[in-house]
Structure formats: C-alpha cells, structure tokens
Amino acid sequence: MTPHEPQEEGIRLAKRVAALASCSRREAELLIENGAVRVDGGIVLLPQSRVLPAQQVSIEPGARPVAVPPVTLLLHKPAGLRMEDAAALLVPANLHAGPHGRPLLPRHLNGQRCMTPLDAQASGLVVFTQEWRVERKFAEDADFIEHELNVDVAGEVTPQQLRQIDRAPVRVSIGRQSGGSTGLRIAVKGLLPGQIARMLEPAGLAIDAVRRIRVGRVPLAGLPPGHWRFLQPNERV
C-alpha cells in the first residue's frame, strides 16, 4: 500500500463472525447468508461487509451454518419483453411478498434457470429455479405438464374454426366475444415457443395477445406484471 492509498476501514464481517463463533470462515459465511448475523441490531447478509471494532456483532441463538436451500421463483413477465431481459426483473425491488412472504437472501437470486420460456410478445407466468428436482421435473415430464393461456384473437371465432383447433391434446373454449375480438382459453401440454401461433394459423386466426395463467398446478393469480414471488412449499407443478 502506498503512503497516499487510503486504508480500508474495519475487517470482513465473516472474519469477525468466525472469531466470535469459534468456527471456520466458510461456516461464518453460511451463518451470515442465512440471515443469522446482526450488526448493531440490523441483519447483514453479505459476508464481505466490513465492520469496525466498535460495532456490535451478534449471532442468532441456535443458528446453524448450513447452506441456503435452493428456491423456485415465479415471474409475471410483461408482454413485449424478451426472455433474456425478463431475467433482469428478478431483483429485490420486484419481490411480491403476498400473504406468504419469506426472507429474501442474496443466494436466492443467483443461478436461476428459466424452465418455461415465453415468446417476447406474450405475457404471464414464467418459472425459474435453482432446485434440481424442479429442473428434472420440467426436463423429464415436459410433455405432460399442462399450460393454460388466455389468448385474444381478432374477430369472432366461428364453430368451424373452433373445431379446427379444439383437438387433443389441446383443449380450447371461448371465454368471451365482444368488441370485434374473441378471448380463447387454451390448455396445452408441453407448450413450445411459437406453438400457439402455429396452432391458430390454419384456422385463420390472428393473435392480439397471449397470457399464460397457469403452469401445471401453479397459477399466476394475484401476481402483478413485472413482479415475482417464491414457489411455496405446498405448491407443486
């Protein structure tokens, strides 16, 4: 360090916790990442944070240095957003806690993989996960997972057009017809990007909007556009 280079104040929080708990540096990092460490009464989640000697550091009684469990996140992707840009919405400011909120830890947002991509013009439910069981479920059972969508098309849909698209393994019903447009409710297993447009094209139907409202048994309900939430322990795809 040169004479003119300022010395960084304090020491790393992980080093302080390791000394306080008589544990390894890695175990100290796990305690911090799990939200079990407070500095001057406030929870600090970053092991690299620096603390001064005068600051009070405490560890929650009974806290164990275990890895942060992986999580699955549900995002309401807005229309007009590419999937590579949609992942950027997974930030703390966009967390929709809802009635079953849980503490957000930095590791929850790292390494999230998209399991259910949507076309750029579509909106609705997108599943991201860190959990290998969930990832395996989408890899092995993709053809059996049902996706439900609300699809708005221009004009009125005739019974003949409906018969053209309401064929197994796709189920189609008319939700509304008004104002020169028709709202279709479509349930399809193993949804692929671009599949809805290809399915409606032979019937001469032009899509105005697509919104996915359910993946398997997980609904979009109550999640605002641009926001995300945790998949709850009682929810299964």
Q: Domain containing 91 — which CATH number?
A: 3.30.2350.10
Among 80-89, 165-174, 198-207, the minimum mean pLDDT is found in: 165-174
Overall domain count for the chain: 2
Same-domain status, 86 and 155: yes
Q: What is the pLDDT of residue 97?
A: 81
Same-domain status, 55 and 106: no
Q: What is the pLDDT of residue 189?
A: 95
Single pTM value for the model: 0.84
Residue 50 confidence (pLDDT) above 50:
yes
Q: For the chain, give the mean pLDDT.
A: 93
Question: Does any domain span residue 200?
Answer: yes
Assign 72 to helix, strand or coil. Answer: strand
Same-domain status, 76 and 106: yes
How many whole angstroms separate alpha carbon 226 and alpha carbon 213? Answer: 14
Same-domain status, 51 and 97: no
The band of 7, judged by pLDDT with boundaries at 50, 70 and 90, is low
Question: Does any domain span residue 164?
Answer: yes
Percent of the chain having pLDDT more than 70? 95
Mean pLDDT of 34-44: 94
The backbone torsions φ and ψ at residue 200, rounded to the nearest 5 degrees and listed phi first, read -85, -20
- Helix (H) or strand (E) segment spanning residue 183: strand 181-189
Question: Does any domain span residue 99?
Answer: yes
Question: Does any domain span residue 123?
Answer: yes
Percent of the chain having pLDDT more than 90? 85
How many whole angstroms separate alpha carbon 29 and alpha carbon 49? Answer: 11
Same-domain status, 211 and 171: yes
Strands 123-129 and 207-215, bridge-based pairing: parallel
Question: Does any domain span residue 65?
Answer: no
Same-domain status, 92 and 40: no
The band of 167, judged by pLDDT with boundaries at 50, 70 and 90, is confident
- Higher-pLDDT residue of 103, 81: 81
Q: Domain containing 52 — which CATH number?
A: 3.10.290.10
Question: Does any domain span residue 67?
Answer: no
State which residues form the domain around 32. Answer: 11-59
